[in-house]
Amino acid sequence: MSPAESKAMQEYLDKELADGKIEPSHSPVASPCFFVKKAGGGLRLVVDYRKINEITVNDQFPIPLQADLLEKIKDAKIFSKLDLKSGYNNIRIKKGEEWKTAFRTKEGIYQYKVMPFGLKNGPPIFQRFMNHIFHDLIDVVVIVYLDDILIFPIPREEHTEHVREVIRRIRDNNLYLKLSKCLFFTTEVTYIGIVITPEGISMEKEKIRAVQEWQEPRTVKQQSFLGFANFYRQFIKDFSTVVKPLTLLTRKEQKWQWGEAEQHAFDKLEEEIGKDPVLIHPNPDKPYFLETDASGVAMGAVLSQRHTDGYLHPIAFLSKSFVDAQVNYDTHDKELLAIITALEHWRLFLEGTDEPITVYTDHKNLEYWKKAHTFNRQHARWYQIVAPFNFNIVY
């Protein structure tokens, strides 16, 4: 451990002991720890809980999906974002169970009295805690993703009232806010990595700049670029097709070889992310337009609506690689599977629409598929899946 790390360790232990978050431990087991550099400078202690996580039973409480959260706020015009101070540390470890969190340092072994970061069940436990506090407000005037709270009352005249109610509950539960990360009464907010405005959603400008400065990976361990791009796949048309050469490199049996195809995929991803596309919020009162396409290895789809300028604007992109037997489907079935996959993926928006969904395809025979009188077994199963959707296929 370097002198800087030794100093940081002593400062960390002194502070956490003074705050009552840790205590000396006589645990028979202890996890290792190390430091990582913070983005803004300084060092952050990380405890490696992999061994205890391997033998921990999963807590099945659900973490909200990004798409579900964004759908709830599509009509909002003004936002307030709150960020809890200390995050998981706000939850007390059950008495007698503290020894499981023990970590070893050169100064000795310590254990947490509060829930630390790194335990596999930390996120679901904390989400349950937050859902309990805001149970009657969630999806009505507030969405909560772990320690990030977004207030979005509709109509906007009620915003002040609901901000006060959320803060009151935070105070009543002896929680504190990190004021430097809070925003009030704004029309643009960054939430769970997405920039949200009344017009639509887009990527963070800082993230786009970071991508444009990214160096191509030299080993499979440097493929963090791929994970980052995957987070923003909803903004990238034909993502699975574009990224295929890079995903193949991550397979265990695949020898690392960076060639022309891999470089082209890397450059294409950088280019698409650099376009900074804006995805509009869906409007249930307007008709939807769905464009699908299928290649040899993947399918892609774009869900759009006509905006105030008269042009179609994307709501979201979808891209999936074909797996197993799907790879061997003929072109007709691949195109059909692309339509079915897209309808199912965007079921929240598309099921039961009054206006028919216009589905564009470049395979003319699909125009007549819905009118067929007989189906093979697979097509009959697909027909049942799409039965609840009101759509017309257009070549």
DSSP 339-351: HHHHHHHTHHHHB
Second CATH level (architecture) for the domain 3-195: 2-Layer Sandwich (3.30)
- Its pTM stands at 0.68
Two tokens at 239? 């993502």
d(CA 279, CA 262): 28
- Mean pLDDT, 10 residues at a time, over the chain (395 residues)? 89 95 96 83 87 92 85 88 92 95 94 93 94 95 93 85 95 93 92 84 71 65 63 72 78 75 81 73 86 80 83 82 83 85 86 85 65 68 78 82
Model pLDDT, residue 258: 80
d(CA 323, CA 305): 30
- Alpha helices by DSSP H, listed for 158-306, are 159-172, 205-212, 224-231, 239-248, 260-274
Two tokens at 171? 């105070």
| Number of other CB atoms surrounding residue 45 within 10 Å | 19
Q: What CATH number matches the domain at 279-394, 3.30.420.10, 3.40.605.10, 3.60.21.10, 1.10.40.30? A: 3.30.420.10
Model pLDDT, residue 36: 82
Q: Residues near 5 by Cβ (< 8 Å), separated by ≥ 6?
A: 35, 43
Query: Are 3-195 and 201-274 the same fold in CATH?
Result: yes
- CATH 3.30.70.270 holds for 201-274: yes
Strands 289-294 and 357-360: parallel
Two tokens at 332? 């007709």
Q: Residues near 90 by Cβ (< 8 Å), separated by ≥ 6?
A: 84, 114, 115, 129, 175
Q: Where are the chain's structural domains?
A: 3-195, 201-274, 279-394
What is the C-alpha R_g of the chain? Answer: 25
